[in-house]
Amino acid sequence: MNRPARDQRSFARAIGGAFALSAAASIGLTVVYALGGQPQIEGALIGASLGGLALGFVWWGTHLLPQGPFVEEREPLTSAPAERLAFTEDFTRLAQETPRRRFLGRMLLVAVGALAAAAVFPIRSLGPGPGRSLFRTAWRRGSKLVTEEGGPVAVGDLPVGGVVTVFAEASVGVADSQTILVRVDPASFRPLPGRETWSPQGYLAYSKICTHAGCPVGLYEQSTNSLFCPCHQSVFDVVDGAKPVAGPATRPLPQLPLEVGPDGLLRAQSDFTEPVGPGYWNEGS
């Protein structure tokens, strides 16, 4: 399928032009680079230099080169029976000339299996075992609540409706200890049974790690007393023990028992009483 010679010549000119454009862009790129570089111009020039090559090749392939169609026959994919037989014989030579081959085969399997099992052990070096670390955080009895900047929180610091992220003193930034401190009107809610002493003057502290997949539960909406997780939109009800009310989370955010020290600073009564963060197999033990 040959095109008229005139057509061919004009295509050749176009292809040459595309390659020339590419060359010019590449030279420009070198210059821009030498002058100190500028990402947008670099990007455009790279685009032009590669694009020119692309156009040239595609035009060359579709307009100047033989279009066929050409036909190629397939060879069978299966070996001829004689070839197969010959191979089987070659391979079974091992078995034919070995006495007690079943025994040897089994021992070989045991040896290789034992080696493979031993080779698994270095995996253990990759990390410490979980132990009890998932059950503990940095909070201790009497830990001061401090903000990200490291300052303690006094009982008068937060207005009703206020919210701040706090850590245990000396553990600022430690991921598993991040806690969200909210102040609500003490008259507007009733603490859960067993937690009556945990929320002095309306201060409620919950683990900030979402119990769904661990994102920080950062958004507090005062009008509904809800905490939102931005990752998969779980919503927790602050005045109802941070029970999940929407989204995929299933467990309430663990609550940190608070007290007011004689110095007027907020402190923890103890660590969290249940594991913080997303669930795992043995979390209940």
Partner 1 sequence: MITRPLARWFDDRLRASSFAHHALNKVFPDDWSFMLGEIALYSFVILVLTGTFLTFFFTPSSKEIVYQGSYAPLRGTRMSEAYASVLKISFDVRGGLVFRQMHHWAANLFVAAIVIHLVRIFFTGAFRRPRELNWLIGVTLLALGIFNGFTGYSLPDDLLSGTGLRIAYSIALSIPVVGTWTAFLIFGGEFPSQDILRRLLITHIMIVPALLVALISAHLAILWRQKHTQFRGRGRTETNVVGSKLWPTYAAKSLGLFFGIAAVGGLLQINPIWLYGPFNPSTVTSPAQPDWYLGWVEGALRIFPPWEFRSFGHAVPNPFYPAVLLPGVTFLILYAWPFLERWATGDRAEHHLLDRARDHPARTAIGAGAFTFYVVLHFAASNDLLAKTFLVSVSAVTWAFRILVVTLPVLVGAITYAWLSAVHRSEAEGVLRVPLAAFVPVEPPPTDDEGEHVEPPPGHGLYDPRSTAP
Q: Please report, as residue ranges, which positions from 117 to 146 form the binding site for partner 1 (by CB under 8 A).
A: 123-124, 126-130, 133-134
Q: Does 247 bind ligand FES (CB under 6 A)?
A: yes
Site for ligand FES in 180-219 (CB under 6 A): 210, 212-215
Contact 219, 236 (CB under 8 A): no
Q: Does 170 bind partner 1 (CB under 8 A)?
A: no
Which residue carries 């859960």 as its tokens?
192
Does residue 39 have a cis bond before it (omega within 30 degrees)?
Answer: no
The residues near 73 (Cβ < 8 Å, ≥ 6 apart) are none
Taking the complex as a whole, the smallest distance from the CB of residue 216 to partner 1 amounts, in Å, to 5
Largest CA distance in the chain: 99
Which partner, ligand FES, partner 1, none, binds residue 105 by CB below 5 to 8 Å per kind?
Answer: none
- How many residues bind ligand FES (CB under 6 A)? The answer is 12
Q: Does 153 bind ligand FES (CB under 6 A)?
A: no
**CA distances, 210 to each of 106, 167, 277 (Å):** 52, 16, 6
Site for partner 1 in 62-81 (CB under 8 A): 62, 65-74, 77
Cα 18 to chain centroid, rounded: 43
Q: Give the x/- contact pattern for partner 1 in 224-263, rule: CB under 8 A.
A: ------xxxx----------x-xxxxx-------------
Q: Does 229 bind ligand FES (CB under 6 A)?
A: yes
Contact 195, 241 (CB under 8 A): yes
Q: Does 14 bind partner 1 (CB under 8 A)?
A: no
